[in-house]
Amino acid sequence: MHNAFALRSNWSKRVSVVAIMAVLLGLFTGFCFTVICVIVRLLIVIRSGSKCKPGEKGPVCVLIVAGSGGHTTEILRLMESLSQSYSPRHYIIADTDKMSEDKIRTFENSKKDTGSKGQFTIQRIPRSREVRQSWSSSVISTLNALLYAVPLVFRLRPDMVLCNGPGTCVPLCAAGLLLGLLGLKRVLLVYVESICRVESLSLSGKILYHISDYFFVQWSTLKDKYPKSIYLGRIV
């Protein structure tokens, strides 16, 4: 009687172990499969950039990432050259940025004077990274910024994100990419590296080089190092 009981409990132990292993294997396989699907989908989305022509259907809605100081000055120089077909314009600035809002309003008000119609908004998100912030805390603050960036981009549904290097642009571009990944909207990522970058890309540039649809550099040395970039000389 004692033996039979021992045998049965042994057997049921083995069954439980096998069952648990089967479930874990199933989960693991499912996980690998999902990851592969996501990667394939990501590659498909990234490669579809050149076919995406939002200008053909009407005005192009732009999300503009304004970093602090020189970044904002440069991005406004670029915005100055764009026609009124680029509207509405949503400017995103970091919550700790005090100067950019004034510069943007002055710029947009001057556009109104020249009879250029089109609305604009200014929104704030947490800063991804302060200058010289450590790598580990930057990852956390960038993820925090992502939590704001995703709902913002999902709500605005821009045709294009325009940025030029501040850390703030990484979560916003990631959110734009996510929108495309989920099949909700193909958001074009346009990156213009700062004129200060002659020999090396900024950290944002290095991250976004591979996923941007149009990546501009302003010096030929960078074009040599990053062949997929677009070089039109100095554009700010």
Partner 1 sequence: MKRVFVTVGTTSFDDLIERVTSPEAVQELKARGYQHLVLQVGQGSILPDSDSCHELTLEAFRFKDSIAENIKCADLVISHAGAGSCLETLGAGKPLLVVVNDKLMDNHQLELARQLHQNSHLLYCTPSTLTETLKTMGLAVLSSFLPGQPKHFADFLDRALGVQ
Q: Which of 130, 72, 80, 58 is nearest to 101 (CA)?
A: 72
Using rule CB under 8 A, residue 197 touches partner 1 = yes
**Candidate list 42, 46, 61, 82; residue touching partner 1; CB under 8 A:** 82
Which residue number, 150 or 195, has a Cβ lying nearer to partner 1?
195
Six-digit token string for 23: 């479930």
| Interacting residues with partner 1 between 156 and 175 (CB under 8 A) | 159-160
**Candidate list 41, 42, 46, 77; residue touching partner 1; CB under 8 A:** 77
CB atoms within 10 A of CB 162: 24
Per-residue b/e over 31-53, b at no fewer than 16 CB within 10 Å? eeeeeeeeeeeeeebbeebeebe
Using rule CB under 8 A, residue 236 touches partner 1 = yes
End-to-end CA distance of the chain: 90
Six-digit token string for 64: 């503009």
**Candidate list 142, 212, 218, 229; residue touching partner 1; CB under 8 A:** 218
Contact 84, 74 (CB under 8 A): no
Using rule CB under 8 A, residue 133 touches partner 1 = no
Using rule CB under 8 A, residue 208 touches partner 1 = no
Which residue number, 184 or 232, has a Cβ lying nearer to partner 1?
232
Using rule CB under 8 A, residue 36 touches partner 1 = no
**Candidate list 54, 165, 167, 171; residue touching partner 1; CB under 8 A:** 54
Q: How far apart are CA 141 and CA 137, in angstroms?
A: 6
Binding segment toward partner 1, per CB under 8 A, in 51-59, 119-127, 148-156, 177-185: 51-59
CA 216 centroid distance within chain = 16
Total chain residues near partner 1 (CB under 8 A): 39
DSSP state of 85: T
Q: How far apart are CA 157 and CA 148, in angstroms?
A: 14
Binding segment toward partner 1, per CB under 8 A, in 10-18, 37-45, 104-112, 227-235: 227-235
- Contact residues toward partner 1 (CB under 8 A) are 50, 53-56, 60, 69-70, 73, 77-78, 80-83, 85-86, 159-160, 188, 190, 192, 194-200, 214, 216, 218-219, 230, 232-236
